[in-house]
Amino acid sequence: MSEAARVLELLAERGHTLAVAESLTGGLVAAELTGVPGASKTFRGSVTAYATPLKEQLLGVDGTLLAERGAVDPEVALQMAAGVRGVLGADWGVATTGVAGPDPQDGRPVGTVYVAVAGPAGGAAGAGKVAALRLNGDRAEIRRESVRSVLELLGEVLVGEHSENARAQDTEQNGGD
């Protein structure tokens, strides 16, 4: 089973939805997800905010943050993930931002990528989780690995949140604290 199919299945089991914000991947995450039969049960849609101003205008990323740090930044990735959740009305949001090459951007070398997940408030990822990547390879390889990495991060968060919920329920059932 592909990582896209796995995360869509995990989301469907919870009755949750997903939205995607993409920059360097330019729609590849959405394409990977929609390639899975039945994706429409959980996948709401995506925003490809390739140009930096669109990250602010469409996703609500803080303009001062973008001006000071540029688009390739972990906090920008988190704000993109949270922003797309709100804009598209989803339970979960994921985001990709980075430098696929051929040239550095915002003082960041080629292969610098941030992927992020933002989940429902009160959950393990309510505040968001971001992963910093240093990827090697050509432009296509960096973009493919970014897609794989953001889906893998979402899968880890979903499985981790499920484990935390199961432990909490077990503790309550067994009279623990």
- pLDDT tens digits along 4-31: 999 999 999 999 999 999 999 999 999 9
The strands making up 18-22's β-sheet, listed across from edge to edge, are 43-48, 18-22, 92-98, 112-118, 129-134
Q: What is the Cα–Cα distance from 131 to 115, expressed in whole angstroms?
A: 5
Q: What is the Cα–Cα distance from 89 to 134, expressed in whole angstroms?
A: 31
- Indicate the pTM of the whole model: 0.91
**What percentage of the chain has pLDDT greater than the value 70?**
88
Which of 70, 72, 73, 92 minimizes the C-alpha distance to 81? 92
Q: What is the Cα–Cα distance from 169 to 53, expressed in whole angstroms?
A: 44
pLDDT at 79 over 70: yes
